[in-house]
Chain A
Amino acid sequence: NAGVTQTPKFQVLKTGQSMTLQCAQDMNHNSMYWYRQDPGMGLRLIYYSASEGTTDKGEVPNGYNVSRLNKREFSLRLESAAPSQTSVYFCASPKWGTSGEGTYNEQFFGPGTRLTVL
């Protein structure tokens, strides 16, 4: 199993250009998430999808759109890129489960996409 895969690994855009970041998971999980990681800010949630056909905003959704294409794929689109969107983007897919200790959510991350907007 590949787990969570992301494409591309690196991308350089000019201000105003658009692009789509792709994410796929082969773990048969219902949920998928997009985070961004910035120096000094940690990782922050952009959008998430609790199940196929549903999406919701996270902490920093402005400037982004998402599509949950099917259970495996969750894409993140920048319609008009800005330098403030220079970041490392991570896709994650959590496993929701229950044990004798209660409900848990263990998240598995992709390798990331390093995006620079000039």
Chain B
Amino acid sequence: KQEVTQIPAALSVPEGENLVLNCSFTDSAIYNLQWFRQDPGKGLTSLLLIQSSQREQTSGRLNASLDKSSGRSTLYIAASQPGDSATYLCAVLYSGGGADGLTFGKGTHLIIQP
């Protein structure tokens, strides 16, 4: 069974710092990995999607990397801002058969201090 782990579970940093969120998964048979942002009491907003053969994707101050062979992904946030405060979720879509849905990590709760 595919399992996704996110480290750290929570992170608090001063505004302006660059930071890295980590995600690991147990089975490399994936279509893609998706990073989401979730604000309190809200739904999930897709940030970046990395296909299994890609190494990284970038959007503005966000950069996500994927190392499928080691089962790891990182989300790099440059020059963090208080508006980046949210929970960040990592999810993979398993390509090895079975139920057709994303497997999620439990998230990293990020606080950017003004």
Contacts and interface: CB of A to CB of B under 8 A. Distances in A.
B106 A58 contact: no
A43 B51 CA distance: 21
A102 B49 CA distance: 13
Contacts, number: 73
A111 B45 CA distance: 9
Q: Chain B contact residues: over half helix, strand or loop, or mixed?
A: strand
A105 B93 contact: yes
Contact of A42 (B31, B34, B106): B106
Interface string A82-118: 0000000010100000010111111111111010000
Interface residues of A, number: 31
Interface residues of B, number: 27
A101 B31 CA distance: 10
B107 A42 contact: yes
A58 B99 CA distance: 6
Contact of B99 (A56, A99, A103, A112): A56
Interface stretch (A11-19, A33-41, A62-70, A72-80): A33-41
A-B pairs with lowest CB-CB distance, top 7: A45-B101, A109-B44, A101-B51, A111-B43, A43-B104, A42-B104, A42-B106
Given A35-B101, A42-B105, A44-B104, 4 more contacts: A41-B106, A43-B91, A45-B101, A104-B51
